[in-house]
């Protein structure tokens, strides 16, 4: 399945080396999904997601931007598809924007 970005701009780079060449496919997917989420009016998370959505995808994210993006993804996971929730958990280690780790019950 191709994303809107791949349709407009061509193939998206994937992998560790791709991070130095631009946003990864996972980062593009989470930004596109978060762009459709409902945020509180005037929130910093909403502003950050909108800036990431409209930025040049050829520029890589800094480590802080990447960490904040995945923390937002984990915090707003109830509005995201399950595949992206799993990615957000993996990349953010279950820590949201408030810095609290969610403890998962293992039954």
What's the confidence (pLDDT) of residue 98?
Answer: 72
Is the pLDDT higher at 7 or at 93?
Answer: 93
Q: Got the DSSP string for the chain?
A: ---HHHHHH-PPP-STGGGGTS--HHHHHHHHHHHTS---TT-HHHHHHHHHHHS-TTSPPPHHHHHHHHHHHHHTGGGS-HHHHHHHHHHHTTB-TTSPBPPPP--
Instruction: Out of 33-37, 60-64, 67-71, 100-104, pick the least confident.
Output: 100-104
């Amino acid at each position: 399945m191709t994303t809107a970005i791949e349709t407009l701009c061509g193939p998206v780079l994937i992998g560790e080396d791709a991070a130095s060449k631009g946003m990864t496919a996972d980062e593009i997917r989470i930004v596109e999904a978060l762009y459709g989420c409902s945020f509180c009016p005037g929130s910093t998370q909403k502003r950050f997601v909108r800036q990431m959505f409209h930025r040049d995808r050829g520029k890589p994210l800094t480590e802080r931007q990447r960490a904040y993006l995945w923390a937002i993804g984990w915090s707003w996971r109830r509005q995201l598809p399950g595949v992206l929730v799993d990615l957000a958990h993996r990349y953010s280690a279950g820590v949201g924007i408030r810095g609290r780790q969610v403890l998962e019950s293992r039954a």
